Structure 1
């Protein structure tokens, strides 16, 4: 165990493994490092602040209880995001039409505000990828963010976006085709 006033040094992967093994100091450090950005990223996808808070807590509980184990491969932040994104999808599945309507209204109210992913994608400087991504319609860009950036499956992306899985596949295909044409 580590002292609460002296968080354990080390990389996130080491901290995740220590937290999963019951190291409270490591757990607190992981939470301090990752909970704020995780909550901000979830808020860009969910209009319900209470649900976002619950999902952040569930994500870290999965780590603490050992139901989610980080292995040595992969980015720790991406691993945490994947847990949170899947918990969000599961949570939204339970809402049905009411949840999709709330999400749609939230997106309409905040459509001028760029999400964290949009800001990151806008900063991409390889070729004209940033410009090509900006020229995609919001629907195509949302599918790319869900499937490529967030790593969700087609079914998970469909539940998150409130559209049928076939529509996710079609939009992903159209987005890739449009990007390919613009970048060649």
Structure 2
């Protein structure tokens, strides 16, 4: 406790380590800190709030079970988003009545076909792109995840990853070049 009687503010990494030790209060604190923005970001991608609520809950159940898997690379928030997004994609694979919305069209109206980005997002765990993403260095992969897959600005990604905005831009540029090379010529992309 701090001098004013308020509980000491703990870093997300500390809380996650506490969750790995079975501390339910630490899990509750992570939920309080992160569930609202996870819900908001997922709602920008899905037209069914019930699915989004389930995905957020599934995310924190996964955190409870798998907190020890966090490797400390990047921010806890980015790790949580990765879990949430994979849960969303998994949930939507079996549901034809739920639509993964483009970031810019949250209404679900207009009859537009999915944006290329959204088709990539749905297939990101499979095929050539998934393999190419896995072969990126962790620093490059985190930047691609934050900016391309999660839709953060370079400034937001820098804050999330704890690096300068210029570093995010440089890493993103290099990652795109590696991905482009790997997808056009798998042998050339990693030289």
TM-score normalised over the length of structure 1:
0.53
Answering whether residue 18 of structure 2 is matched by residue 47 of structure 1, we say no
Q: 1:76 to 1:108 in 2, by over 3 A?
A: closer
Do structure 1's residue 16 and structure 2's residue 27 form an aligned pair?
A: no
CA distance in 2, matches of 1:57, 1:13: 20
Q: What is the CA–CA distance in structure 1 between the aligned matches of 2:106 and 2:49, rounded to whole Å? A: 17
Cα 1:108–1:72 change in 2 (3 A) is closer
Provide the C-alpha distance between the structure 2 equivalents of 1:90 and 1:83, rounded to a whole number of angstroms. 11
Deviations 1:37-96 (A, max 9, x none): 00000101111111111110110011112376322222111100000000000100011x
Write the distance in 2 (CA, Å) between the matches of 1:24 and 1:6: 19
Q: Who is 2:97 aligned against?
A: 98
Structure 2 Cα separation of the partners of residues 16 and 22 of structure 1: 10
CA RMSD, 1 decimal = 3.7
Contact 1:21 1:66 in 2 (8 A): no
Q: Name the CA distance, whole Å, in 1 between partners of 2:73 and 2:106.
A: 38
Count of matched residue pairs: 123
Higher helix fraction (1 or 2): 1
Q: What is residue 30 of structure 1 aligned with on the other side?
A: 30
Residue 109 of structure 1, aligned match among 96, 107, 111: 107
Mapping 1:1-184, distance limit 5 Å? 7=7, 9-66=9-66, 69-95=69-95, 97-100=96-99, 103=101, 107=105, 109=107, 139-140=115-116, 142=118, 146=121, 153=124, 155=126
TM-score by length of 2: 0.52
Q: Give, in whole Å, the separation in 2 of the partners of 1:29 and 1:108.
A: 29
Inter-partner Cα distance in structure 1 for 2:68 and 2:115: 32
Q: What are the Cα deviations for residues 126-160 of structure 1, in whole angstroms up to 9, with x where unaligned?
A: xxxxxxxxxxxx8255568x49xxxx82549x9xx
| Ranges in structure 1 where 5+ consecutive residues have no aligned partner | 113-137, 159-175, 178-184
Show structure 2 runs of 5+ residues with no match. Answer: 130-175, 178-191
Q: Output the CA distance in 1 between the equivalents of 2:33 and 2:62.
A: 17
